[in-house]
């Protein structure tokens, strides 16, 4: 809060009244005055220039406003940007903590090159020229020798929309690898099968009933923008139900907390669907128009008349086995509660919003069916595309087009997209060590980008083994704003800017609107505003911290200096023929040419589109987006199309292209991005791709089903997937405020189980998985279901040297002992402790146990359909043994490779119909040409 004349509570507006203001009005951003808190009780004025940017600490892309002190030229703090349509001036703790990341005394300021063996921890400072030339040669040779599957870019936090896709396609490589299969692809497959879009966009603020799986208020998708709208909905009278074995912050704010056995969630949801069907409280008209019931009847009930009434009888019959009593027994939730929630959902009708992200969909074998089952509730209530309901994410996300779009690559990288997983929603990134060990590929140049697989992925020691192996990975650069466990095993560590030191454009589906947000380097913007000429952002960043956009331009230019490879032309300025594009030109072109309404809006403010975005930081492209599926195809779109006699889909002019609409009640309507253009309750794709038993929303027994546990012997289900609201995987290691708030990850144990096992809070437990064990402290709490234990995946950072490596705010000093034959032991030598630095706070650290790195003990569990790593573990929990120490981790990578092979046996590999590697209608990151989908060697 600040006292300021002429300000009011309305963001971005000016007033003559004198009162407390939450947000500085836009017209005062060039000279904003606040009293200096430290000078209190004296009133000492401080003058700030305010520059908007975008938070880089999670995927939500909230707006930030940097307060730059006009006397010192330093960023004093970062608060919310009130003009941002998604976050509306509000942030979580991680947004303002960007200031810690800027001033982190542990940050990497110069590019580093390893000397000695990989992982030995010997580094020397190098130059960016040397880095760029080394990688340019490596990539150039791969292109010339047509080894276009040997260049891989592996992203942890994307943080931009489409930038790298363009770079990789300019190079002509199939090299995009992401973290998505350890994150969200379970739910994505479920949603994509229904609607052809892999994410939902719930309209929480207008909902009457909200059903959430996972902890959306603190860590959902997209956390702060969604959290504020969930609460807005609640304040307007909506009720909330949360399905989570753990009492999350969201569950604690809900009207209903349903705590089922992990892995049984789909059964619970189908029981709710069965209640709605049985009680005839579903939206008949919506189901008739928009569910692909005709296709279901034709394919699965050919002997019955293809009528809507016959379908209703069939679907009632299909789900009749999911009685509340059955679900109560299977899931461990009271039958009355299931009925009560189902009736609430039906009452909300088209204003029923739901969401599953990560959690059950990412924890379990068959987790993708949780999203299928959940969306069945939306389909039945007609709450798809409605106000207060859920829309396909693509309606609410705006991706701007850059000045040059390279052609899709002609290759298919089987190290990233192996044939065993034709339906995997994203690259099988977490299998990379096993695929490399099996000799299925080899990497010439590997870029990890804000990604820390050694720590974040399951089975981190297998990653260490391949990262150290120069015959598997020739050259590895870690592009990162912060030290990480993975960077330690790289050849080059390349410091990249944090949220106030780089450019990106982002958009997310936070509500029923489309917006873009501009991340920008604050110091550069201010200096350019003063008329200074800046060539590169690193000139205004600390040390030699680069921004990635400029790195990729420079690298691409050096890969193809003469233009002979066809790369260079995509990096030539759209404004100066034959010259290298500058970052200002890159964004100037986008804002001038590909954001509808922005040039007009900028003109009204007497600014160029680029200046407008530099001033405002965000722009609302569209608002109130509903019912897009109901729009009629235009005469222009219909030209040359034909309607399929049986399915009534509107077929495109050219073969191979996707269907563009469907005839409904005699009208050509756009529909959804599925083959039938309807919501696919029945998925022919699943039948065609060898999974005929999974064509409908159904319940798949998880690999951690409670019935398989030997509870008397100490077997439990471990839920390791939950985030803490204040941490951000690897990137919060450099944020002291965040570690001050959250710094340890105890094992949540129900008091009944604690007493059975002889534990009290603070005792040490040994938790054993299929490939090893970890030692952690117990927290006895009613916040977890009996029979289940939980541990947050955010903590347990480590470093191998005292004064270098993962930030000391967060990490323990460890000894990593390679015991031979694939066995490793990680033991903490020292916990987190105070250290001397330029920041006096580093000597005030009071926390000591920085958590346990549990992910090391998880083998890979790739779901055979979605490709999602199934995170939940069946574990044995017992008292720690006499030589166990807090934080110990012991693993066996040979055993983990065996588990990988066991799960591989569950797959049903490509080719599918027509010799394809993957259904062409499925989206794919950095999509190659259609021909690349064909398997030609069989």
Stretch that binds ligand SF4, among 29-37, 59-67, 361-369, 857-865 (CB under 6 A): 59-67
Nearest C-alpha neighbor of 513 from the set 395, 399, 670: 395
Tell the smallest beta-carbon distance from residue 508 to ligand SF4 (Å): 9
Is position 506 an interface residue for ligand SF4 (rule: CB under 6 A)? no
| Size of the residue set binding ligand SF4 (CB under 6 A) | 13
> Residue 501 or 753: which CB sits closer to ligand SF4?
501
Tell the smallest beta-carbon distance from residue 801 to ligand SF4 (Å): 29
Query: How far is residue 120's CA from residue 488's CA, in Å, rounded to a whole number?
Result: 8
> Residue 205 or 490: which CB sits closer to ligand SF4?
205
> Residue 226 or 872: which CB sits closer to ligand SF4?
226
> Residue 155 or 749: which CB sits closer to ligand SF4?
155
Query: How far is residue 776's CA from residue 764's CA, in Å, rounded to a whole number?
Result: 6
> Residue 94 or 140: which CB sits closer to ligand SF4?
94
> Residue 618 or 910: which CB sits closer to ligand SF4?
618
Stretch that binds ligand SF4, among 91-99, 171-179, 330-338, 347-355 (CB under 6 A): 91-99
User: What one-character-per-residue DSSP string does 552-601 give?
Assistant: HHHHHHHHSTTSTTS-GGGGB-SSSTTSBPPHHHHHHHHHHHSSTTHHHH
Instruction: Determine which residue in the list 46, 84, 94, 797 makes contact with ligand SF4, applying CB under 6 A.
Output: 94
1-36 in b/e form (b: 16+ CB < 10 A) is ebebeebbeebeeeeeeeeebbbbbbebbeebbbbe
> Residue 359 or 381: which CB sits closer to ligand SF4?
359
Near ligand SF4 in 911-930, by CB under 6 A: none
Q: Which residue has the tokens 């892995």?
A: 263
> Residue 50 or 365: which CB sits closer to ligand SF4?
50
> Residue 229 or 239: which CB sits closer to ligand SF4?
229
Q: Which helix (H) or strand (E) element contains residue 878?
A: strand 873-879
Instruction: Determine which residue in the list 26, 51, 61, 242 makes contact with ligand SF4, applying CB under 6 A.
Output: 61
Instruction: Determine which residue in the list 62, 416, 565, 735 makes contact with ligand SF4, applying CB under 6 A.
Output: 62
Q: Which helix (H) or strand (E) element contains residue 131?
A: helix 128-144
> Residue 64 or 328: which CB sits closer to ligand SF4?
64
Tell the smallest beta-carbon distance from residue 163 to ligand SF4 (Å): 18
> Residue 434 or 511: which CB sits closer to ligand SF4?
511
Angle, in degrees to the nearest 10, between helices 893-904 and 460-467: 110
| Secondary structure letter of residue 854 according to DSSP | G
Is position 183 an interface residue for ligand SF4 (rule: CB under 6 A)? no
Is position 55 an interface residue for ligand SF4 (rule: CB under 6 A)? yes
Tell the smallest beta-carbon distance from residue 622 to ligand SF4 (Å): 21
> Residue 87 or 730: which CB sits closer to ligand SF4?
87
Tell the smallest beta-carbon distance from residue 92 to ligand SF4 (Å): 3
Is position 371 an interface residue for ligand SF4 (rule: CB under 6 A)? no
Q: Which residues contact 394 (CB under 8 A, 6 or more apart)?
A: 197, 509, 673
Tell the smallest beta-carbon distance from residue 96 to ligand SF4 (Å): 8
> Kindly report the CA angle at 511 between 507 and 515, in degrees rounded to 5?
30
Neighbours of 531 (CB within 10 A): 6
Query: How far is residue 440's CA from residue 433's CA, in Å, rounded to a whole number?
Result: 10
> Residue 92 or 170: which CB sits closer to ligand SF4?
92
> Residue 225 or 609: which CB sits closer to ligand SF4?
225
Is position 66 an interface residue for ligand SF4 (rule: CB under 6 A)? no
Q: Which residues contact 767 (CB under 8 A, 6 or more apart)?
A: 718, 747, 773, 774, 775, 776, 789, 791, 854, 857, 875, 876, 877
Stretch that binds ligand SF4, among 51-59, 181-189, 342-350, 573-581 (CB under 6 A): 51-59
Per-residue contact track with ligand SF4, 204 to 243, x per CB under 6 A? -------------------xx-------------------
Stretch that binds ligand SF4, among 88-96, 311-319, 804-812, 828-836 (CB under 6 A): 88-96
> Residue 449 or 785: which CB sits closer to ligand SF4?
449
| Secondary structure letter of residue 283 according to DSSP | -
Nearest C-alpha neighbor of 588 from the set 651, 514, 656, 503: 503
Query: How far is residue 861's CA from residue 363's CA, in Å, rounded to a whole number?
Result: 10
Is position 505 an interface residue for ligand SF4 (rule: CB under 6 A)? no
Tell the smallest beta-carbon distance from residue 42 to ligand SF4 (Å): 32
Instruction: Determine which residue in the list 4, 21, 57, 540 makes contact with ligand SF4, applying CB under 6 A.
Output: 57
Cβ proximity of 205 and 88 under 8 Å: no
Tell the smallest beta-carbon distance from residue 723 to ligand SF4 (Å): 11
Nearest C-alpha neighbor of 233 from the set 353, 357, 80: 353
Is position 102 an interface residue for ligand SF4 (rule: CB under 6 A)? no
Per-residue contact track with ligand SF4, 441 to 460, x per CB under 6 A? --------------------
Q: Which residues contact 809 (CB under 8 A, 6 or more apart)?
A: 104, 106, 733, 734, 735, 736, 739, 832, 842, 845
Query: How far is residue 32's CA from residue 14's CA, in Å, rounded to a whole number?
Result: 12
Near ligand SF4 in 295-354, by CB under 6 A: none
Q: Which residues contact 370 (CB under 8 A, 6 or more apart)?
A: 186, 187, 190, 213, 265, 266, 269, 356, 360, 361, 364
Instruction: Determine which residue in the list 51, 60, 333, 505 makes contact with ligand SF4, applying CB under 6 A.
Output: 60
Q: Tell me, rounded to whole angstroms, the distance of Cα 839 from its chain centroid.
A: 32
Bridge-based pairing state of the strands 32-35 and 642-643: unpaired
| Secondary structure letter of residue 107 according to DSSP | -
- Pair of tokens at residue 308: 């809507």
> Residue 501 or 863: which CB sits closer to ligand SF4?
501
> Residue 60 or 747: which CB sits closer to ligand SF4?
60
Cβ proximity of 790 and 718 under 8 Å: yes
Separate counts of helices (H) and strands (E) for the chain: 28, 36
Tell the smallest beta-carbon distance from residue 823 to ligand SF4 (Å): 38
Is position 811 an interface residue for ligand SF4 (rule: CB under 6 A)? no
Tell the smallest beta-carbon distance from residue 252 to ligand SF4 (Å): 19
Tell the smallest beta-carbon distance from residue 251 to ligand SF4 (Å): 19
Query: How far is residue 216's CA from residue 218's CA, in Å, rounded to a whole number?
Result: 5
Query: How far is residue 525's CA from residue 540's CA, in Å, rounded to a whole number?
Result: 9
> Residue 98 or 350: which CB sits closer to ligand SF4?
98
Query: How far is residue 858's CA from residue 899's CA, in Å, rounded to a whole number?
Result: 10
Cβ proximity of 816 and 886 under 8 Å: no
Near ligand SF4 in 710-749, by CB under 6 A: none
Stretch that binds ligand SF4, among 86-94, 598-606, 661-669, 783-791 (CB under 6 A): 86-94
- At residue 793, φ and ψ (nearest 5 deg) are -85, 5
Instruction: Determine which residue in the list 92, 454, 506, 856 makes contact with ligand SF4, applying CB under 6 A.
Output: 92
Instruction: Determine which residue in the list 82, 85, 89, 95 makes contact with ligand SF4, applying CB under 6 A.
Output: 95
Tell the smallest beta-carbon distance from residue 188 to ligand SF4 (Å): 20
Largest CA distance in the chain: 86
Instruction: Determine which residue in the list 58, 205, 254, 342 makes contact with ligand SF4, applying CB under 6 A.
Output: 58
Is position 91 an interface residue for ligand SF4 (rule: CB under 6 A)? yes
Contacts with ligand SF4 by CB under 6 A lie at 55, 57-58, 60-62, 87, 91-92, 94-95, 223-224
């Amino acid at each position: 809060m600040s006292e300021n004349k002429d300000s009011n509570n309305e963001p971005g507006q000016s007033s003559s009244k004198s009162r407390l203001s939450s947000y500085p009005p836009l017209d005062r951003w060039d000279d904003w005055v606040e009293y200096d808190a430290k000078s209190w009780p004296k009133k000492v004025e401080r003058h700030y220039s305010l520059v908007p940017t975008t938070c880089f600490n999670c995927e939500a892309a909230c707006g930030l406003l940097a307060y730059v002190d006009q006397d010192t030229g330093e960023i004093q703090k970062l608060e919310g940007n009130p003009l941002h349509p998604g976050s509306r001036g509000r942030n979580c703790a991680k947004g303002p903590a960007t200031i810690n990341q800027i001033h982190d005394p542990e940050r990497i300021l110069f590019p580093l090159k390893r000397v000695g063996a990989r992982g030995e921890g010997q580094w020397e400072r190098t130059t960016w020229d040397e880095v760029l030339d080394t990688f340019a040669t490596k990539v150039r040779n791969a292109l010339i020798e047509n080894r276009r599957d040997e260049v891989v870019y592996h992203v942890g936090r994307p943080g931009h929309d489409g930038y790298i896709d363009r770079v990789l396609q300019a190079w002509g490589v199939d090299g995009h690898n992401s973290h998505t299969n350890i994150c969200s692809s379970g739910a994505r497959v479920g949603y994509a099968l229904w609607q052809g879009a892999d994410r939902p966009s719930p309209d929480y603020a207008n909902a009457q009933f909200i059903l959430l799986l996972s902890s959306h208020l603190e860590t959902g998708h997209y956390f702060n923008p969604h959290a504020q709208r969930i609460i807005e909905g609640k304040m307007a009278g909506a009720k909330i139900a949360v399905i989570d074995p753990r009492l999350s912050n969201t569950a604690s704010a809900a009207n209903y907390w349903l705590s089922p056995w992990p892995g049984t969630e789909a059964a619970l949801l189908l029981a709710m669907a069965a209640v709605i069907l049985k009680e005839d409280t579903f939206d008949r008209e919506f189901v008739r128009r928009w569910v692909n019931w005709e296709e279901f009847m034709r394919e699965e009930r050919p002997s019955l008349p293809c009528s809507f009434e016959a379908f209703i009888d069939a679907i009632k019959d299909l789900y009749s086995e999911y009685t509340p009593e059955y679900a109560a027994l299977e899931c461990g939730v009271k039958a009355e509660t299931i009925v009560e929630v189902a009736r609430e959902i039906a009452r909300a009708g088209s204003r029923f919003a739901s969401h599953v992200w990560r959690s059950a969909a990412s924890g379990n074998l068959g987790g993708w069916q949780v999203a299928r089952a959940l969306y069945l509730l939306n389909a039945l209530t007609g709450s798809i595309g409605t106000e207060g309901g859920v829309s396909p994410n693509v309606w609410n996300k705006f991706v701007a087009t850059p000045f040059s779009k390279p052609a899709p690559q002609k290759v298919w990288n089987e190290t990233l997209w192996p044939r065993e997983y034709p339906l995997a929603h994203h690259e099988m990134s977490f299998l990379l060590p096993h695929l490399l060990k099996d000799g299925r590929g080899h990497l010439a140049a590997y870029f990890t980008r804000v990604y820390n697989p050694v720590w974040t992925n399951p089975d981190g020691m297998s990653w260490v083994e391949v990262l150290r192996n120069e015959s598997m990975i020739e050259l590895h650069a870690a592009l990162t704003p912060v030290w990480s466990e993975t960077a330690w095993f790289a050849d080059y560590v390349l410091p990249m800017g944090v949220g106030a030191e780089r450019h990106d454009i982002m958009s997310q589906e936070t509500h029923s609107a489309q917006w873009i947000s501009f991340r920008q380097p604050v110091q550069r913007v201010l200096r350019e505003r003063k008329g200074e000429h800046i060539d590169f952002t690193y000139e205004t960043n600390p040390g030699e911290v680069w921004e990635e956009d400029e790195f990729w331009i420079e690298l691409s230019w050096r890969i193809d200096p003469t233009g002979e490879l066809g790369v260079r032309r995509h990096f030539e300025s759209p404004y100066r023929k034959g010259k290298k594009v500058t970052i200002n030109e890159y964004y100037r072109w986008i804002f001038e040419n590909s954001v509808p309404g922005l040039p007009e809006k900028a003109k009204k403010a007497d600014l160029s589109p680029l200046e407008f975005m530099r001033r405002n930081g965000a722009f609302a492209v569209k608002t109130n987006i509903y019912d897009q599926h109901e729009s009629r195809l235009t005469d222009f779109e219909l030209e040359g199309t034909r309607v399929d006699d049986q399915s009534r889909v509107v077929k495109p002019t050219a073969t191979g292209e996707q269907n563009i609409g469907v005839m409904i009640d005699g009208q050509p309507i756009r529909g959804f991005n599925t083959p039938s253009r309807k919501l696919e309750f029945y998925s022919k794709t699943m039948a065609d791709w060898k999974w005929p038993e999974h064509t409908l929303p159904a319940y798949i027994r998880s690999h951690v089903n409670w019935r398989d546990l030997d509870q008397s012997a100490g077997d439990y289900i471990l839920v390791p997937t939950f985030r803490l609201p204040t941490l951000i995987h690897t990137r919060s290691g450099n944020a002291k405020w965040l570690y001050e708030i959250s710094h340890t990850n105890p094992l949540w144990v129900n008091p009944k189980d604690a007493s059975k096992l002889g534990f009290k809070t603070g005792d040490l437990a040994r938790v054993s998985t299929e490939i090893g064990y970890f030692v952690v402290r117990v927290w006895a709490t009613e916040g977890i279901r009996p029979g289940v234990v939980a541990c947050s995946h955010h903590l347990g950072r480590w470093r191998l040297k005292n004064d270098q490596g993962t930030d000391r705010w967060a990490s323990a000093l460890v000894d990593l002992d390679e015991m031979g034959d694939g066995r490793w032991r990680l033991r903490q030598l020292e916990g987190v402790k105070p250290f001397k630095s330029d920041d006096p706070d580093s000597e005030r650290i009071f926390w000591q146990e920085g958590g346990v790195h549990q992910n090391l003990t998880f083998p890979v569990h790739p779901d055979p359909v979605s490709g999602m790593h199934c995170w939940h573990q069946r574990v044995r929990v017992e008292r720690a043994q006499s030589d166990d120490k807090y934080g110990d981790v012991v693993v066996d990578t040979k055993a983990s490779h065996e588990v990988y092979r066991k799960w591989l046996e569950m797959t049903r590999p490509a080719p599918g119909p027509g010799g394809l590697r993957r259904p062409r209608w499925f989206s794919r990151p950095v999509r190659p040409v259609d021909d690349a989908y064909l398997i030609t060697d069989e």
